[in-house]
Structure 1
Amino acid sequence: MNAFTTAMNMIFADRNMAVDALWLAGGVGPGVAVRVIRKSPDEITPFGAGRILSETTRLDARIADLPTPAPGDLIRIGAEDFILQGEPKLDRERLIWSLDTRPA
């Protein structure tokens, strides 16, 4: 294990950085417990001569916890459900998935 992997594991274990979630492959099943880092940046999308501001929710998850995410999977954080949309993206080190989601 290298220093970067150790650092990522510590960040995902920190209760101030990551939260407990439940991953349901295909949106069904008993689910698998995972830790995710929730990011909610505003996104500006050009539309004709205007711009649309929309809220987004992106989640980061360790590949060790979430080996095969796919569009249509559901991530439950507390009472909130999010559906994965688009293809998950891996970081350069191949340790962290970046997941684009929408409310379920």
Structure 2
Amino acid sequence: MYFRNLLLRTPDTVAKFQSVPGQTGQTPPLLQYFGTLLTRGKLNAYESLELSRLVVNQNKNNLLENWLAEDKLECSEELGDLVKYLASVMLLLLGVSTIGVPSLLRSKV
């Protein structure tokens, strides 16, 4: 059973779920797919990256943090780059909101 599941968990499977149109007011099929996989274990590297892109685009970064803490996502260089970019943006926003743009710019010069 485990081996058979691995054969289905491919980029092609993710692409098929991405192409299915969602119904208004319902969870998109791709998110249902990822949700089901998360309840059963850890996502592979490709699934982890695709799900992470979705939640970052929806500004639900806390979900990403929780899944990383729970070891539900397989880490990869691409996922690291996404998280690094997200952390940079968050640090920049924090700096702007706490010390203001002029002070932030002076500290970088």
TM-score by length of 1: 0.24
Structure with larger Rg: 2
Which structure features the higher share of helix residues?
2
